[in-house]
């Protein structure tokens, strides 16, 4: 057998960067359930609430003093658009979760404004997730989650909670906003974990 033509790849687009059922978009759609909250930097914090009752938090200034990563990743929305090669700056969850104890291994991300989404700890560590505050070299626009959002690019983009406030470690997986409304508990685009 020679080269298999891309016409025989079923629902694949022919672009190996695109998960099944996705198409590429060049612009950056805004998808928000409800109004965008406004969080002044003086009031902003990022917290981690542990199962044992301990709580860590960083002010904006403290957060900015942490090691910063530049991240180039493809993002995939469950509504079928993907945006390839997006460039971000932020603090990795490896840095933020360093020394944090968890017995359960699950988290609920809490956003300012009340949005929640659940993500297992194993999907946040080893260079897989960030709290991102810069997009394309500019401070993250409010519509896209500024001052800062969670960025978990290997899962569908609903997991990347905009206006992130903090992470609550939980003993078992507690479905967040979209996960309680029919979306998949995990959300891996390469396995098309769209709906439950």
Burial of 109 (0-12, 13-18, 19+ CB in 10 A): buried
| Identity of the residue, 79 or 103, whose beta carbon is nearer to Mo ion in the bound complex | 79
DSSP notation for 169-192: EESS----TTGGGTB-SS--GGGT
Site for ligand MTE in 136-155 (CB under 6 A): 144-145
Distance CA 183, CA 196 (A): 5
Dihedrals phi, psi of 179, to nearest 5 degrees? -65, -30
- The window from 7-15, 28-36, 68-76, 146-154 that contacts Mo ion (CB under 5 A) reads 28-36
> By three-state DSSP, how is residue 1 classified?
coil
Q: According to CB under 6 A, which one of 9, 24, 25, 31 is a site residue for ligand MTE?
A: 31
175 binds, among Mo ion, ligand MTE, none (CB under 5 to 8 A by kind): none
86 binds ligand MTE (CB under 6 A): no
115 binds Mo ion (CB under 5 A): no
Q: According to CB under 6 A, which one of 17, 33, 38, 87 is a site residue for ligand MTE?
A: 33
Distance CA 46, CA 95 (A): 13
44 binds ligand MTE (CB under 6 A): no
- Residue reference for tokens 């297992």: 120
Distance CA 17, CA 74 (A): 8
157 binds ligand MTE (CB under 6 A): yes
- The window from 38-46, 88-96, 98-106, 158-166 that contacts ligand MTE (CB under 6 A) reads 158-166
Site for Mo ion in 155-184 (CB under 5 A): 158
Binding site for Mo ion (CB under 5 A): 31, 77, 158
């Amino acid at each position: 057998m020679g080269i298999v033509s891309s016409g025989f790849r079923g629902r694949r687009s022919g672009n190996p960067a695109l998960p099944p059922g996705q198409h590429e978009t060049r612009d950056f759609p805004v998808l928000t359930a409800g109004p965008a909250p406004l969080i002044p930097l003086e009031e902003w914090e990022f917290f981690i609430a542990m199962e044992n009752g301990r709580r860590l938090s960083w002010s904006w200034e403290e957060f900015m003093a942490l090691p910063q990563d530049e991240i180039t990743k493809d993002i995939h929305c469950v509504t079928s658009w993907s945006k390839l090669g997006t460039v971000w700056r932020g603090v990795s969850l490896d840095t933020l979760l360093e020394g944090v104890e968890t017995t359960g291994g699950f988290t609920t991300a809490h956003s300012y404004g009340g949005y929640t989404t659940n993500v297992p700890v194993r999907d946040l560590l080893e260079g897989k997730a960030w709290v991102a505050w810069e997009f394309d070299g500019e401070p993250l626009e409010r519509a896209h989650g500024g001052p800062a959002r969670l960025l978990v690019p290997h899962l569908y983009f609903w997991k990347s909670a905009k206006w992130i406030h903090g992470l609550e470690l939980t003993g078992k997986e507690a479905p967040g906003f979209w996960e309680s409304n029919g979306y998949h508990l995990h959300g891996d685009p390469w396995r098309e974990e769209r709906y439950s």
